[in-house]
Structure 1
Amino acid sequence: MNYQANPTDSDFEASGLSRLTTVNWQDEHHRRSITASLVQGVYELEHARQKNFQECKAWWEFFDYQLLDKLTDNIYSDSSIFGAIYEFTPKARNNYSIEAPTYVIAFRGTIMERHSFVRDMKLNIKILKNKLHRTSCIEKAIQAVKDKASIHGATIWLAGHSLGSAIAMFAGKDMAKTGKFLTSYLFNPPFVAFPMKRGILVAGTFMITAALTVFIRDHEERQHSENRFKELRNWVPKLYLHESDPICTGYIRYFKLLERMQRYGVGVIGRLAAQNSLKGLFMEYFGMEYCSEELHLIPSACVTTSCTPKRHAHDLSQWFRDDSVSDPKMYCYNNAEETV
């Protein structure tokens, strides 16, 4: 959340544009690189604004997209650009046998410069407090997505990096509750939970969370929580993660542990823990204000990891390339009807 990921032009042109001399929308590697570059475009738009540049390098035009609109946060006087809406304008030279999305709505992460740092860090703190949904940028993001989703025949992809992934995650979850499951590319999304121990999410935390859920909530309340979780099971966001990135590595542990519990026949415990957090349960028990739908708790995902050097673990630029990226692994919600 609190890292700047702004590769130089040469980084991207060497690893991204030079490789994609012809765009093939059937190739998942191309789709990943394209969406990462559109997120990078939001970084470039904000950098250009801060430096009072009239224009910035329009990498999106190479992929036959045009900048349709900028999403700005006017709650602060700087009106920083936190997102962008791109519209597809096809040209004959590219391969469109699988249709490219009509719109890509992308969100940037934190920029460590004085013109946006304070505003971005306040949003990061909102994520830690599970209060991102109360911010104006979320309202604007959701409204932008709903506006485009209302256009007949339009396809929409969401994309984001770090803080921007949290915004895209929220918008994706909101749409999933209405039955619209948007393709979502989330690069290094923040996972806010109890700390790791030697790279492994402590299984005991899951056990305690499940036990507290049963203790604090009656069957009807647990069933309501289960039903809300099931609403999201058909939304499978694409998560791009790095084992050494403390911001997002929790997702790797989260899904691996859920899978392991299911394999050992204790999936019901995993599902209870996946729907709740210790922090949330304690706040609920003591009557403290709390939003029960924590951002990072999702039932399904397609996970891709990178083994790029540790010092670049949070960089957006690692997702332009193919050399360090693993094959995706699908984690699907178990529909088995188990009750506690």
Structure 2
Amino acid sequence: MAKRGVMEDITEAETVAVMAAAAEDMGAATPETVAVREEETHHPYAFNVSGPRNVASPNWRDLINSSWKDPNYKRTVMACFIQAAYLLELDRQENRNEHNNALAPKWWIPFKFKLSQTLIDERDGSIFGAVLEWDRAAAMADLVLIRPTGVPRAVLALRGTLLKSPTMRRDIEDDLRFLTWESLKGSVRFKAALEALRLIAQRYGSSNVCIAGHSLGAGFALQVGKALAKEGLFVDAHLFNPPSISLAMSLRNIGERAGIAWKRLKSMLPPKNEPLTENVNEGASSSNHISGFRSWVPSFYEEKASADSKKKWVPHLYVNDSDYICCYYTEKDGGGENESKEGDKENKRPATVNNSSMAGAKLFVASKGKQKFLEAHGLEQWWSENLELQSAAVQNSRLIGQQLKSLYSASSSAPQVQGKLQ
């Protein structure tokens, strides 16, 4: 009995010692672990802090009625993917890795996507975009056995300007490039984004691929998507707060207004030479009308045939009236009205077919009255619960017509490329 009591005392003492040692180890590790978890949970860019509310993760019900059929859901997810592209660069700058406290993965994991590729600017090593692909394994773990209707196989997400010292210089350099030339083709980011988009479009088919961007990233997405459309690959595009201001556009608008004013002035001036007789004038007029009609009819049918043979690329534009960077996309194309007043309709009409009826975009406008610029230009507004949008089926804005008109004036060989690649 005494021996048993001693053994019980020893066992109890050893147990207490082991528990005390474990408590010391846990006590030494707990503060750091708790700090990491608190930082991840309470960080202003954490998904559970600033992300969308009441957005369901894909589940087996999506096999019956896919959430991706809802345009609001799709807009929300695309905005989240762009936020992930921003956070990939911030994670890099602040030395957060994907295994511990990285913020970016939380913005694509709930939607059953995975990171496939990061797009890196070779000038400063910064991350400016990411390719996200449908994660089949994660989906099957939640009994989503097949990809629901409307879910893209891959998404290319491009961030905008980050006012952080490691990447601010190159971001502003591209901002100024667009502001001056209204083109981003000279940037290394344009080439890298085009190659990445072309690769996934050829791998999965253009109908299963999306490109999305915000601010400067939306400018890249628009021009990269247009370049790929010229090759016959039409991808779904979602552009948030795309830039609409440039020096080239301002000079072009000034030139157009000056030309319209000059034509109006000429129409009010008396002709140089009075006609000798009315009969001669009538003959010349009828001859001009006949020749004009003959020259216009074939060109009209050529344009119509060309328009019918080409698939339209219609990007989705999300703009805010209070954002002076993107608000000019809401200006409607009034070129047809001005041209109809000038009299020479025979030569003007084919151009109207190209610029107005072909080039268009699905425009969604957020308008809450007067807002501060940072709020009106922010990405988080596009997954906000109280967002109110004014939408148009296909909006023929003047600016989108100018930016996409080259897409429909190119040669008609593009659709053949699409068939070969898909």
Q: TM-score scaled by structure 1?
A: 0.72
- The 1:263/1:126 distance shift into structure 2, 3 A limit, reads closer
Unaligned segments of structure 1, at least 5 residues = 1-6, 197-202, 214-218, 276-297, 336-340
Once the two structures are overlaid, the 10-residue window that deviates more, 162-171 or 257-266, is 257-266
Cα deviation 1:156-211 (Å, max 9, x = unaligned): 10000000001111110011112221110100000124799xxxxxx987544678
RMSD of aligned C-alpha atoms? 3.9
- The 1:99/1:191 distance shift into structure 2, 3 A limit, reads same
| Match in the other structure for 1:64 | 112
| Match in the other structure for 1:124 | 175
Could you say what secondary structure the match of 1:98 adopts? coil
- The 1:93/1:318 distance shift into structure 2, 3 A limit, reads farther
Unaligned segments of structure 2, at least 5 residues = 1-42, 59-66, 264-294, 406-422
| Match in the other structure for 2:386 | 323
Larger Rg: 2
Task: Determine which of 325, 329, 334 is the counterpart of 1:251.
Answer: 329
Could you say what secondary structure the match of 1:184 adopts? strand
- The 1:192/1:157 distance shift into structure 2, 3 A limit, reads same
Equivalent pair of 2:53/2:385 in contact (CA under 8 Å):
no
Equivalent pair of 1:258/1:270 in contact (CA under 8 Å):
no
| Match in the other structure for 1:32 | 75
Equivalent pair of 2:180/2:248 in contact (CA under 8 Å):
no
| Match in the other structure for 2:28 | none
Displacement after TM superposition at 1:326 (Å) = 1.1
Cα deviation 1:194-246 (Å, max 9, x = unaligned): 799xxxxxx98754467899xxxxx9xxx9xx99x979971110000001111
| Match in the other structure for 1:286 | none
Letter matched to residue 131 of structure 2? I
- The 1:97/1:210 distance shift into structure 2, 3 A limit, reads farther
More helix as a share of residues: 2
2:45 is the counterpart of 1:9: yes
For residues 210 and 103 of structure 1, the distance between their equivalents in structure 2, rounded to whole angstroms, comes to: 46
For residues 194 and 271 of structure 1, the distance between their equivalents in structure 2, rounded to whole angstroms, comes to: 24
Could you say what secondary structure the match of 1:47 adopts? helix
Cα deviation 1:77-135 (Å, max 9, x = unaligned): x3000000000114146695423100000100001111111110001011112242011
- The 1:232/1:50 distance shift into structure 2, 3 A limit, reads farther
* Percent of matched pairs sharing the same residue: 28
| Match in the other structure for 1:84 | 130
Cα deviation 1:284-308 (Å, max 9, x = unaligned): xxxxxxxxxxxxxx92100001124
For residues 145 and 163 of structure 1, the distance between their equivalents in structure 2, rounded to whole angstroms, comes to: 17
For residues 114 and 307 of structure 1, the distance between their equivalents in structure 2, rounded to whole angstroms, comes to: 33
- The 1:306/1:264 distance shift into structure 2, 3 A limit, reads farther
For residues 393 and 258 of structure 2, the distance between their equivalents in structure 1, rounded to whole angstroms, comes to: 26
Task: Determine which of 152, 158, 167 is the counterpart of 1:101.
Answer: 152
For residues 39 and 185 of structure 1, the distance between their equivalents in structure 2, rounded to whole angstroms, comes to: 10
Equivalent pair of 1:157/1:183 in contact (CA under 8 Å):
yes
| Match in the other structure for 1:149 | 201
| Match in the other structure for 2:313 | 235
Letter matched to residue 45 of structure 2? D
Letter matched to residue 244 of structure 1? S
For residues 334 and 143 of structure 2, the distance between their equivalents in structure 1, rounded to whole angstroms, comes to: 44
Once the two structures are overlaid, the 10-residue window that deviates more, 54-63 or 43-52, is 54-63
Displacement after TM superposition at 1:18 (Å) = 2.6
Could you say what secondary structure the match of 1:123 adopts? helix
| Match in the other structure for 2:376 | 313
| Match in the other structure for 1:180 | 233
Could you say what secondary structure the match of 1:147 adopts? helix
Could you say what secondary structure the match of 2:161 adopts? coil
Once the two structures are overlaid, the 10-residue window that deviates more, 301-310 or 89-98, is 89-98
Equivalent pair of 1:42/1:108 in contact (CA under 8 Å):
yes
Displacement after TM superposition at 1:323 (Å) = 2.0
2:233 is the counterpart of 1:190: no
2:55 is the counterpart of 1:20: yes
2:220 is the counterpart of 1:167: yes
Letter matched to residue 108 of structure 1? R
Q: TM-score scaled by structure 2?
A: 0.59
For residues 300 and 244 of structure 1, the distance between their equivalents in structure 2, rounded to whole angstroms, comes to: 22
Equivalent pair of 1:210/1:269 in contact (CA under 8 Å):
no
- The 1:303/1:233 distance shift into structure 2, 3 A limit, reads farther
